[in-house]
Amino acid sequence: MDAPVPNPSASIAPRGGIVARWLQRRRARREASRDFDSRWVGRALLLPVIASQFVWFPVANAVSAALLLATALCGALICAYYAHLLLARLQCSLLEFLVLIAGLGSWLGMLLASPALYALGTHWVVILTLFGAGWVLHGAVLGVAQARLLGVESPAARACHILLGWITSGSRGVLLLGLSLSLIRLADRRSFAEMLGQRLATWGTALFIAGIAGALLSFVVNFKTRRAAQKILGETVPQSRAISAAQPAHNATFPA
Amino acid sequence: MEDGSGAPADPRVPLAAWYLQPGLRRMMMIPLMEAVALTVLLLLLRQSGGDPRANLAESTAAFIAAAPPPVAKSENAAELYAAATLLVRPVSGFLITAHQSSEEMQSPAWLENSEARAYYSANLPAINALLLATQTEKCNFGVNYPLGNSAPLPQLKKLREAGRLLALDARMKAHAGDHAGAASTLAAMYALARHIGSDRFLISQLVQIAIESQADSTLENIVCCDPPTKTAELEAYRKQLRTNREGTQRSIEALQTEKKMCLMGIDTFATSGLTMPMGKSSAVVNNDFYAALLYPSDRACCQEVMDEFMARAARGETMDDTEVDDFLSARQIGPMVMTRMMLPAMGRIVYRFQRNDESAQLADTALAFLLYRAKYGRDVARIDDLVPEFLPKVPTDFFHHLPLKLASSPISETQHGWQKEFFGDQNIIRIYSFGKNGIDENGLGNEGMDPDDQAFILPPLGFKPAPPVKAPAGSNTGADF
């Protein structure tokens, strides 16, 4: 990351209609991130990710076992992808590494200390551990990337960004759980409260609110980071699109 | 290094491009999101219910221990019942409806129906075989207890049918004037009920109660339609009446067995691929989730709730459905899916047993009333007048320990259809208890409803029913029994 990298998109002056411009920009971004991203992981993930979505359905045991294996592979690939980005590409600092270790230890510690996990069986212990580690690494990569793109220098602020990365990336899962619990509750309040218990029903609302708050936070941080990234790439930000259209030469330059 | 414009390139360019081009990273978010949701759920339900497999071995052993002791084939009434039920001739057409409708079957007009009499005659061999089977002391239907709540109980439907046949036999005998024979058949019905109850399954206990209630109801019909007038006949009925039904003890035993069966069911579901209504579940996935997320609290709640049900049954306390809901909610420590599905009916069990006990008590009091009538040629005004000559003390109901009451009024419009036709506007005698609500509703009501008084109806003094008809050839008599 320390060596300056040429910006392929800088030499491309967008021409044509909206679609053509979008395609050009996309191509330029891919070109620019070629040495940063590990595309092969993405491609290798395609099948396991799809397979992991069928693991919830009741199927024959042999098929189910194969799906579980694919899901575990998916978790391992996600871990490898984000660990590679964090340690090799982003080359995180010692502080960021310590925050990562603390987050990983806390999350997996909580997970592995839950008696219910072991009742799920070894296959689910492995899957949830891998995906738990994957989520922690993903949140850390997101936080470090956002901090760097936003130009955050203070160590405390960078650590906070990692925390923010976990919150924003975890908010979708929390929202999913909260929404599921709340929807069941709204659809069949009596049976839900009776079967799952009032405590879980209350948690459904709390998780839904927390998920919404996390999603809003994620939107705000992501919006700011995207604008910063676009500035770095010298792309036109949406607000100045009209101005930039009148000054096409501006797109082709990097900020000083 | 410089970019095309000659300005030094920002080292963050690849990162910015990577950030703005999520591509397949969006796809990775889907399983990550699901894993976070599942992990949060696991953390919310941090609990342990022990090892379901070890629990299953324990609960299966406990349930198998509830099986009745083995009986030698030569001494087993179940063998005779199996042979007797093979002799039952199926009914068809009109008779299916009439036979299955207790209301129609209770009507005296039904006994005169030619098809009903043909049906009775055709089934006399089966009735005789059933009477013989009921004389056998021991019974073991050989139920496959290790199967738990999946154990087939085919005998129950057949023996319920057998109970109806015996009720018909008692009615026919009484209609023909053979009250001793009718009393013996009623005794056979009580014996049949006892045999069915040898299996401690709750459903077996409920069928036992149903047959005992049917015997009581048959006695009431006999007393109304073909009233025994001689002291000896009344004494015969009273002697055969099974008054000491130990409802409380039986309800506790039934609940104990049900608890074992419920725990076994929960353990089985948590450990194996149980076939569910939505299709065969995968032993690898779905039951693991039940075992991890729902099983511990479900099992703990089931145990606690059943123990409390038994404690309440021992105190003679009953619960209606609303009370059971509140009761379950108060003891809910987490998800309790199976418990919610299996246990709500348990609250009514004690009530059903107590109602059955009360039915026997009312029948006994009614026979004491008729004995007084037979001896003195008049009716008592209060039940107290039957003490001590015909009753050792004034009987009290099981719910509120209030003394039974006597009332004389016409049959109500809404109840007892055939009795309304039979007695017209004459005042009939009701010996009744106040039911669970404890309110004197003049002997009107039905089980589980409001009003809920439980009554035994007796014909008014001097009531003359239609003269008896001759019983069909081959019919049993009291001497045969």
Is B331 in CB contact (< 8 Å) with chain A? no
Backbone angles phi, psi at B396, to 5 degrees: -120, 155
Pairs of CB atoms within 8 A across A/B:
263
Instruction: Look up the pTM and report it.
Output: 0.72
Residues 6+ apart with CB under 8 A from B216: B359, B360, B362, B363, B456
Q: How many residues does chain B have?
A: 481
Quick: pLDDT tens for B134-184: 999 999 999 999 888 888 999 999 999 899 899 989 999 998 999 999 999
Highest mean pLDDT among A15-24, B231-240, B291-300: B231-240
Which residues of chain A from 111 to 140 reach within 8 Å of chain B, CB to CB? 111, 113-121, 123-124, 127-128, 131-132, 134-135, 138
User: Is A90–B28 a contact, with Cβ atoms under 8 angstroms apart?
Assistant: no
Half-sphere CA count of A48, side-chain side, radius 13 A: 23
Cα torsion A141, A147, A153, A159 to 10°: value is: -60
Q: For testing the chain A interface, which of B39, B293, B339 should be mutated: the one with the most A CBs within 10 Å? A: B39
Q: Do B31 and A26 touch (CB under 8 A)?
A: no
Residues 14-33 of B with CB under 8 A from A: 14-21, 23-25, 27-33
Hey, is B8 helix, strand or coil? strand
Contact partners, residue B49, CB within 8 Å, separation at least 6 = A119, B55, B295, B296, B297, B298, B299, B300
Task: Point out the least confidently predicted range of B24-38, B94-108, B392-406.
Answer: B94-108
pLDDT of the residue at B280: 43
> Is the bond preceding residue A6 a cis peptide, omega within 30 degrees?
no
User: Is A162 part of the contact surface with chain B (CB cutoff 8 Å)?
Assistant: no
CB contact under 8 A, B19 and A149: yes
Question: Distance between CA atoms of A180 and B49, rounded to whole angstroms?
Answer: 25
CA distance B258 to chain A (A): 20
pLDDT at B370 over 80: yes
CA Rg value for chain B: 31
A135 to A170, B29, B261, B461: CA distances (angstroms)? 7, 9, 43, 87
User: SS3 for B427?
Assistant: strand
Which one-letter DSSP state was computed for residue B445? B
What is the predicted pLDDT for the residue at B11?
Answer: 79
Q: Which residue has the higher pLDDT, B344 or A111?
A: A111
Who's near B471: CB < 8 A, 6+ residues apart? B172, B173, B175, B176, B178
Distance CA B186, CA B180 (A): 10
What DSSP assignment string belongs to B364-409? HHHHHHHHHHHHHSS--SSGGGGTTTT-SS--B-TTT-PBPEEEEE
* Amino acid, single-letter form, for residue A52: S
Residues of B in contact with A200 (CB under 8 A): 44-45, 334-335
CB A181 within 8 A of CB B44: no
Query: A16 — alpha (psi -120 to 50), left (phi > 0) or beta?
Result: left
**Average confidence (pLDDT) over B205-233:** 91
Query: Which residues from B are below 8 Å from A6, CB to CB?
Result: 1-4, 9, 13
Q: Is the peptide bond before B451 cis (omega within 30 degrees of 0)?
A: yes
**Are the Cβ atoms of B39 and A111 closer than 8 angstroms?**
yes
Q: Which residues of A touch B286 (CB under 8 A)?
A: 58
Question: Which chain A residue shows the shortest CA-CA distance from B44?
Answer: A200
Residue of A nearest to B24 (CA): A42
Of A3, A121, A145, the CB nearest to B19: A145
B34 interfaces chain A, CB cutoff of 8 Å? yes
Q: Do B21 and A29 touch (CB under 8 A)?
A: yes
The answer to whether B53 faces chain A, any CB pair under 8 Å, is: no
Q: What is the pLDDT of residues B72-114, one digit of tens each?
A: 999 999 999 999 999 988 766 555 555 556 666 777 777 887 8
**Chain Cα centroid distance, residue B172:** 27
Virtual CA dihedral for A229, A231, A236, A238, nearest 10 degrees? 60
A residues 183-212 lying closer than 8 A (beta carbon) to B? 193-200, 203, 207
For position B131, what pLDDT does the model report? 96
Contact A116 B17 (CB under 8 A): no
- Residue B346 has a pLDDT of 76
Contact B49, A186 (CB under 8 A): no
Determine whether the interchain pair B336/A197 forms a contact, defined as Cβ–Cβ distance below 8 Å.
yes
CA distance to partner chain A, nearest, from residue B3 (Å): 5
- Distances, alpha carbon A77 to alpha carbons A41, A47, A162, in Å: 7, 11, 21
Note the pLDDT of residue A248.
41
The pLDDT of residue A234: 83
Q: Which parts of chain A sit beneath pLDDT 50? A: 1-3, 11, 239-256
How far is the CA of A140 from the CAs of A99, A143, A165, B22, in angstroms? 9, 5, 6, 16
Q: Which residues contact B231 (CB under 8 A, 6 or more apart)?
A: B371, B374, B375
Q: Do B286 and A58 touch (CB under 8 A)?
A: yes
Return d(Cα B468, Cα A72) in angstroms, integer.
Answer: 82
Is B137 an 8 Å CB contact of chain A?
A: no
The closest alpha carbon to B111, from B460, B477, B471, B473, belongs to: B471
Question: B304-343: per-residue pLDDT in tens?
Answer: 888 988 888 888 787 777 778 788 888 887 888 888 887 7
Task: Tell me whether A9 touches chain B (CB under 8 Å).
Answer: yes
- The pLDDT, as a whole number, for residue A244 is 43
For B360, phi then psi, to 5°, come to -65, -40
- Percent of chain B whose pLDDT exceeds 70: 85
**Would an 8 Å CB–CB cutoff place A145 in contact with chain B?**
yes
Using pLDDT thresholds of 50, 70 and 90, give the confidence band for residue B479.
Answer: very low
The answer to whether residues A162 and A144 touch, using CB atoms and an 8 Å cutoff, is: yes
- Quick: pLDDT tens for B409-465: 887 766 656 777 778 778 889 999 988 888 888 887 776 666 788 889 899 888 876
> Is B16 in Cβ contact with A229 (below 8 Å)?
yes
**Which residues 57-76 on chain A approach chain B with CB closer than 8 angstroms?**
58-61, 64-65, 68, 71, 74-75
The answer to whether the beta carbons of residues A77 and B25 sit under 8 Å apart is no
> Across the interface, do B284 and A64 touch by the CB < 8 Å criterion?
yes
Best CA proximity match to B181, nearest among B126, B111, B233: B233
Contact A33 B14 (CB under 8 A): yes
Q: Does the pLDDT of residue B128 top 90, yes or no? A: yes
Residue in B18, B296, B329 closest to A36 by CB: B18
CA distance A218 to A133: 20
